[in-house]
Amino acid sequence: CDAPGHSHSNTDFTAGWHRFKFPGAPYATIPTTPPLEKYRQADMQSCGTYGVSWMDGTLPVIGDPPKDVTIYFAWVHLPKWQTRDAKVVACAEDGQTMFLYELPTTPCTGAYCALKTVN
């Protein structure tokens, strides 16, 4: 848990601007719809966490200012179990669109999760 005042299960995640990418897939985004309930169970098979992140709404386009968004953490039957305020901005890189997220620390049982995107 990386929230202030907690010392167990520290992941060393720090609040600030972050980019998500995977080996061989440099462009990834936090999903804009909640995961199916079968993927947010206590077995932690989605993103290795109990609370799976997603954001409601649309992603910005290149040239837009950073957009205020709410990151939700879905768990079991609760698609909006916990929330965090964040920002997202679209940037150009090698003719592709990448997204940067300004993220606070996560809830102790949640993690920021991303999906590969196709540009």
Note the pLDDT of residue 3: 53
pTM of the full structure: 0.84
Alpha carbon distance 57, 61 (integer Å): 13
74: enclosing H helix or E strand: strand 67-75
Note the pLDDT of residue 52: 86
- Walk along the chain (119 residues) and give the pLDDT tens digit of each residue: 455 555 555 567 788 999 999 888 888 999 999 988 877 777 766 677 778 899 988 999 999 999 999 999 998 889 999 999 999 999 999 898 999 999 998 877 788 888 887 65
Alpha carbon distance 32, 116 (integer Å): 13
**Token pair for 99:** 């997204």
Note the pLDDT of residue 60: 96
8 Å CB contact between 85 and 68: yes
Alpha carbon distance 10, 97 (integer Å): 32
